[in-house]
Structure 1
């Protein structure tokens, strides 16, 4: 008798990018430090710089690094120039991510990315690592990071970015995967559960406190939450 494999738990999965799919490996914190020095501004300590990975960059510069609002656009420009020329090449795909994405797609699950990184840059980074073709939807912030509320194309934060990705996925039962509380909050605001990953940049207890449905320590564990059939098939147990 053949026993049917368990169906995937979700028909679509949205992933955060930095800290979830890709390890920036200093490419973000180094870029922020470079930009602040280029602007002759104080550089905060390493813990503050790491805490700036995840939130919208303009907000992080103003609220965490103390950059005066009139200098934020020029500081962002300095950061983006360095990131494109140097920082992107420093990044690495987390172990097991490429295999996980292939398994999920083979299970018929639609995949998307919802990131605070500017959308064109997110697509460039994913293409750099050969991951772009795995996703049905890639949504991020507007390329013009100087846009303000009320401007056309402005997306304030993770809630709006997740909403934009969901609108294209047209999924009945989607879930978010991310490494910071912004991912959990943005998912919750859109009626989604969020599975947190411990290999990113959240501080101890951050994801659980934000209300993550689960916090996982490996892509193998994440696969069990997302698509048990895919993981069991990969292990030869179906």
Structure 2
């Protein structure tokens, strides 16, 4: 078992359930663009990937349309959407236990950093993280591999074997694979088991409790050696 030192957590679908805020903000943007999508379940695909990727993939928007839709989305998200969110049951307990065991924790999200920091502070979990890193508002540094690499560079004393990325969508696992660190896929978020397994994760966890069991078991087995 590896003795990880730094744990990177995705935000949406991993630490918190953002469905209401994200889907309602996408619905708002689409309506302002002349597209009516009353079924919010159809907009779950926007949870996880960068906005510009989803607007292009699911609605075929041009670059100009993506910029307009993103601005509209953020208009509502800044006012209401980021607060229409809830931490998953057991997350605060998990983060506290990991911190107590000496793990160093960071958030790696495709969401703009300014929003991510506001969300984790609002839900009183920001104190557990040494770094909260997301994309820039101008759309740069939106790929998960870039975000992960940025965080790794902040921990120059560790090598790649000391890191693990935890997330609920393929983008989290693909980013970890591209950078060369281990990854844990979680099925309680918005990626299904087939999506996660296709990315060859090091571990799969079905609940928040299982995330802790895997990480703390690793620590315990090393202590017993």
Query: Structure 1 length as normaliser, TM-score?
Result: 0.85
Once the two structures are TM-superposed, the CA of residue 81 in structure 1 deviates from its matched residue by: 1.4
Asked if 1 retains the 8 angstrom alpha-carbon contact of 2:10 and 2:167, the reply is yes
Once the two structures are TM-superposed, the CA of residue 9 in structure 1 deviates from its matched residue by: 3.0
Secondary structure of the structure 1 residue equivalent to 2:201: coil
**What residue is the counterpart of 1:220 in the other structure?**
209
The answer to whether 1:55 aligns with 2:41 is no
Q: Report the Cα distance in structure 2 between the residues aligned to 1:58 and 1:73, rounded to whole angstroms.
A: 8
Aligned length: 218
Cα distance change on mapping 1:135 and 1:8 into 2, 3 Å: farther
**What residue is the counterpart of 1:150 in the other structure?**
none
Once the two structures are TM-superposed, the CA of residue 10 in structure 1 deviates from its matched residue by: 1.0
Q: Which moved more, 1:124-133 or 1:175-184?
A: 124-133
Match of 2:91 among 89, 97, 109: 97
Q: Report the Cα distance in structure 2 between the residues aligned to 1:63 and 1:220, rounded to whole angstroms.
A: 34
The answer to whether 1:168 aligns with 2:154 is yes
The answer to whether 1:159 aligns with 2:145 is yes
The answer to whether 1:201 aligns with 2:190 is yes
Please report the RMSD computed on the Cα atoms of aligned residues, expressed in angstroms: 2.1
Q: Report the Cα distance in structure 1 between the residues aligned to 2:184 and 2:41, rounded to whole angstroms.
A: 24
Asked if 2 retains the 8 angstrom alpha-carbon contact of 1:23 and 1:92, the reply is yes
Q: Report the Cα distance in structure 2 between the residues aligned to 1:32 and 1:215, rounded to whole angstroms.
A: 29
Q: Which runs of 5+ in 2 are unaligned?
A: none
Larger radius of gyration: 1
Q: Report the Cα distance in structure 2 between the residues aligned to 1:169 and 1:129, rounded to whole angstroms.
A: 26
Q: Which runs of 5+ in 1 are unaligned?
A: 1-6, 146-153, 233-238
Secondary structure of the structure 1 residue equivalent to 2:198: helix
The answer to whether 1:109 aligns with 2:109 is no
Cα distance change on mapping 1:8 and 1:132 into 2, 3 Å: farther
Once the two structures are superposed, what CA deviation does each residue of 1:165-224 show, in whole Å capped at 9, x if it has no partner? 111133331100000011110001111111111111013411011111121112221112
Q: Report the Cα distance in structure 2 between the residues aligned to 1:131 and 1:188, rounded to whole angstroms.
A: 27
Query: Structure 2 length as normaliser, TM-score?
Result: 0.90
Asked if 2 retains the 8 angstrom alpha-carbon contact of 1:20 and 1:197, the reply is yes
Once the two structures are TM-superposed, the CA of residue 90 in structure 1 deviates from its matched residue by: 1.3
Match of 2:114 among 89, 109, 120: 120
Asked if 2 retains the 8 angstrom alpha-carbon contact of 1:118 and 1:142, the reply is yes
Q: Report the Cα distance in structure 2 between the residues aligned to 1:71 and 1:99, rounded to whole angstroms.
A: 42
